[in-house]
Amino acid sequence: MALHKVADTGRYDDVYTMPLSEQVLPKYRIPDDQSDPRAVYALLRAELALDGNSSQNLATFCTTWSDDETRRLMDDCLDKNMIDKDEYPQTAQIESRCVHILADLWNSPAGRETVGCSTTGSSEAAMLGGLALKWRWRQRRQAEGKSADRPNLVCGPVQVCWEKFARYFDVELRQVPLEPGATGLRPHQLASYVDENTIGVIAILGVTFTCDYEPVAELAAELDRIQAATGTDVPIHVDAASGGFIAPFVQPELVWDFRVARVASINTSGHKYGLAPLGVGWVVWASAELLPEELIFRVDYLGGDMPTFALNFSRPGGEVIAQYYNLLRLGREGYRRVQQACLDTAQVLAGEIAEMGVFTLLYDGRGALPAVSYRLTDPDARFSLYDLSDQLRMRGWQVPAYPLPPDQQDVVIQRVLVRHGIGREAMSLLAADIRTSLKRLTVGAPADAARTGFHH
Ligand SMILES: Cc1ncc(COP(=O)(O)O)c(C=O)c1O
């Protein structure tokens, strides 16, 4: 093959006649020479087309639709490092505004004075929330002259971030098994798991597997009862990765947040129902004294004395700005309308799925996240939900099938998440494709002779 130098061509070459286009792309070694950016872009774009279409990814809670202004702001902020708070004081200001807005949205009694920060997502936010719980428990134990070497964390069917927290930070994870028919942790289960070494209980507002909310106020009332009986005072951290941006707008009567005195901290994913693009989460404490001072690092070599609590250092600023943009653009009423539209769509889809006659709904999109989860309960079905997932994939839909967590791991479910950007028409097309798939799985694919072939 001829060797071409980019600078030698002097012509406007078509990207598919440029040298890079005539090669298999390097996979293990950086190329020796430069390439025309148009060719590189075109080739990468073509490769990325092999990824799933994110608007048909019904497995993710994360934002897959953004408006042009968000895209422009992301572009404007490409060079802003979230950690350089002295260099980019307005970006830091905007982060702080978001924290206080969230504290207010979640009814913090000290909304203006409380502390919190942005993170890369709920996973990092969960680690920070968990670390604060561990530190406070240890301080208390040490002050009482008691051993502080066997901390445990009590939770129901949590997302893997809590398993990571427990392993990375040496905390025993006491995962309470799921009861038959339950969609999450139930208050009466707590007493057998909580003890003096419990750093906290995780309550989930939007269980990853079932999409239902765990009853935060009832869990707190049970912990009140346990405290009255045993003296053990256990705080709650609410993992509101998804529900933190749903409940305040569409279920305002639900008491799950800082109105519950036992709720010490809350995390959420800005990049899920917060509607910001991928890469932002939040953690907020009910009041500043709940975040132990030793966890805060003061960084001075960037030009100022900056307090930080984070697992990483450099991080893009655009997502935080885009979060603030969405808060300003939509306001309470805008978020309410977006989330209500998603809930309504989820409920219509739940109705369609129930009508198909072979499924039993586990969650019907009412009262918690805009989602539907269901089991296959037709005793005559000679296929599984995994087969249905495969069939739907042929039309581009990504609808996961997976077993429930212990003790319900024999129950396989399927889950559809409805998000901003997924409309009624899309879900009506999905329902039609589920019906077609069921038919194929029941009566089999058409015989070759009956196929129409390819017409051009
Ligand atoms: C309840 C819950 N917590 C935490 C996470 C992790 O969130 P992130 O992807 O923002 O790190 C998820 C993700 O789905 C979740 O559903």
User: pLDDT tens digits, residue range 101-125?
Assistant: 999 999 998 767 889 999 999 999 9
Ligand 1: nearest atom to the Cα of 158: 1
Inside any domain, residue 214: yes
319 in the same domain as 341: no
Q: How confident is the model at residue 149 (pLDDT cuts 50, 70, 90)?
A: very high
Mutate to test the pocket of ligand 1, among 57, 64, 122, 210 (most ligand atoms within 8 A of CB): 122
Range of the domain at 268: 69-327
Mutate to test the pocket of ligand 1, among 57, 60, 61 (most ligand atoms within 8 A of CB): 61
Inside any domain, residue 417: yes
Share of residues in the chain with pLDDT > 90 (%)? 86
308 in the same domain as 265: yes
Residue 447 has pLDDT above 80, yes or no: no
405-420, pLDDT tens digit by residue? 888 899 999 999 999 9
| 154 or 407, which is more confident | 154
Q: What's residue 214's pLDDT? A: 98
271 in the same domain as 414: no
**Residue 12: C-alpha distances to residues 7, 38, 332, 402 (Å):** 11, 11, 51, 51
**Nearest-10 crossing angle of helices 122-143, 160-168:** 40
Mutate to test the pocket of ligand 1, among 57, 124, 185, 208 (most ligand atoms within 8 A of CB): 208
Share of residues in the chain with pLDDT > 70 (%)? 95
Q: What's residue 1's pLDDT? A: 47
Q: What's residue 456's pLDDT? A: 65
The HSE-up count of residue 47 (CA atoms within 13 Å, CB side) is 8
Alpha helices by DSSP H, listed for 317-447, are: 318-355, 385-393, 424-443
Cβ contact 35:4 at 8 Å: no
The domain that holds 423 is classified in CATH as 3.90.1150.160
Residue 266 has pLDDT above 60, yes or no: yes
Residue 303 has pLDDT above 90, yes or no: no
267 in the same domain as 164: yes
Ligand 1: nearest atom to the Cα of 281: 10
Inside any domain, residue 62: no
Domain boundary among 327, 354, 376: 327
Q: How confident is the model at residue 444 (pLDDT cuts 50, 70, 90)?
A: confident
How many angstroms separate the CA atoms of 456 and 451, rounded? 15
How many angstroms separate the CA atoms of 396 and 376, rounded? 21
Domain boundary among 307, 327, 347: 327
**Residue 158: C-alpha distances to residues 97, 127, 173, 282, 367 (Å):** 29, 13, 10, 18, 19
Residue 11 has pLDDT above 90, yes or no: no
Q: What's residue 114's pLDDT? A: 87
- 417 three-class SS: strand
342 in the same domain as 296: no
Q: How confident is the model at residue 41 (pLDDT cuts 50, 70, 90)?
A: very high
**How far apart are the CA of 292 and the centre of ligand 1, in A?**
24
154 in the same domain as 129: yes
How many angstroms separate the CA atoms of 417 and 370, rounded? 6
293 exposed, middle or buried (CB, 10 Å; 0-12, 13-18, 19+)? exposed
Ligand 1: nearest atom to the Cα of 206: 1
224 in the same domain as 103: yes
Instruction: State yes or no: cis peptide before 407, omega within 30 of 0.
Output: yes
Ligand 1: nearest atom to the Cα of 207: 1
How many angstroms separate the CA atoms of 21 and 41, rounded? 11
Inside any domain, residue 322: yes
| 389 or 443, which is more confident | 389
The 10 Å Cβ neighbour count of residue 232 is: 13
Which residue is associated with the tokens 């003296």?
Answer: 231
300 in the same domain as 184: yes
* Ligand 1 neighbours by CB, cut-off 6 Å: 61, 121-123, 126, 159, 161, 204, 206, 208, 239, 241-242, 269, 281
**401-403: strand order across its sheet:** 359-363, 371-376, 412-417, 401-403
Q: How confident is the model at residue 448 (pLDDT cuts 50, 70, 90)?
A: confident
Closest by alpha carbon to 151, among 192, 199, 195?
199
**How far apart are the CA of 159 and the centre of ligand 1, in A?**
6
305 in the same domain as 186: yes
Closest by alpha carbon to 43, among 9, 4, 17, 7?
17
Determine which residue's CA is closest to atom 7 belonging to ligand 1: 122
Q: What's residue 231's pLDDT? A: 97
235 in the same domain as 364: no
Average of per-residue pLDDT across 189-217: 97
Cβ contact 275:420 at 8 Å: yes
Q: What's residue 298's pLDDT? A: 83
284 in the same domain as 342: no
Q: Compute, in degrees rounded to 10, the torsion defined by CA atoms 119, 217, 223, 175.
A: -50
How many angstroms separate the CA atoms of 32 and 23, rounded? 14
User: Which residues contact residue 203 at a Cβ distance below 8 angstroms, ignoring those fewer than 6 apart?
Assistant: 185, 214, 215, 216, 219, 236, 237, 238, 239, 256, 263
Residue 304 has pLDDT above 80, yes or no: no
Residue 155 has pLDDT above 70, yes or no: yes
Inside any domain, residue 215: yes
**How far apart are the CA of 452 and the centre of ligand 1, in A?**
45
Determine which residue's CA is closest to atom 5 belonging to ligand 1: 122
Average of per-residue pLDDT across 3-32: 80
Q: Taking the model in full, what pTM does it have?
A: 0.94
Inside any domain, residue 22: no
Inside any domain, residue 129: yes
Mutate to test the pocket of ligand 1, among 58, 60, 61, 269 (most ligand atoms within 8 A of CB): 269
Domain boundary among 327, 357, 385: 327
**How far apart are the CA of 442 and the centre of ligand 1, in A?**
36
Buried b (16+ CB within 10 A) or exposed e, 261-274: ebbbbbbbbbbbbb
323-353, pLDDT tens digit by residue? 999 999 999 999 999 999 999 999 999 999 9
The domain that holds 96 is classified in CATH as 3.40.640.10
Q: How confident is the model at residue 295 (pLDDT cuts 50, 70, 90)?
A: very high
Q: Name the phi and psi angles at 403, rounded to 5.
A: -80, 150
Least confident of 223-232, 296-305, 371-380: 296-305
Q: What's residue 86's pLDDT? A: 85
Residue 302 has pLDDT above 90, yes or no: no
Q: What's residue 10's pLDDT? A: 60
**How far apart are the CA of 449 and the centre of ligand 1, in A?**
48
Inside any domain, residue 27: no
Q: Which pair of tokens denotes residue 375?
A: 């089991």
**How far apart are the CA of 256 and the centre of ligand 1, in A?**
18
**What mean pLDDT value characterizes the chain?**
94
Mutate to test the pocket of ligand 1, among 127, 161, 209, 363 (most ligand atoms within 8 A of CB): 161
Q: How confident is the model at residue 433 (pLDDT cuts 50, 70, 90)?
A: very high
User: Which residues contact residue 456 at a Cβ distance below 8 angstroms, ignoring those fewer than 6 apart?
Assistant: none
372 in the same domain as 226: no
Q: What's residue 372's pLDDT? A: 97
Number of domains present in the structure of the chain: 2
Ligand 1: nearest atom to the Cα of 204: 1
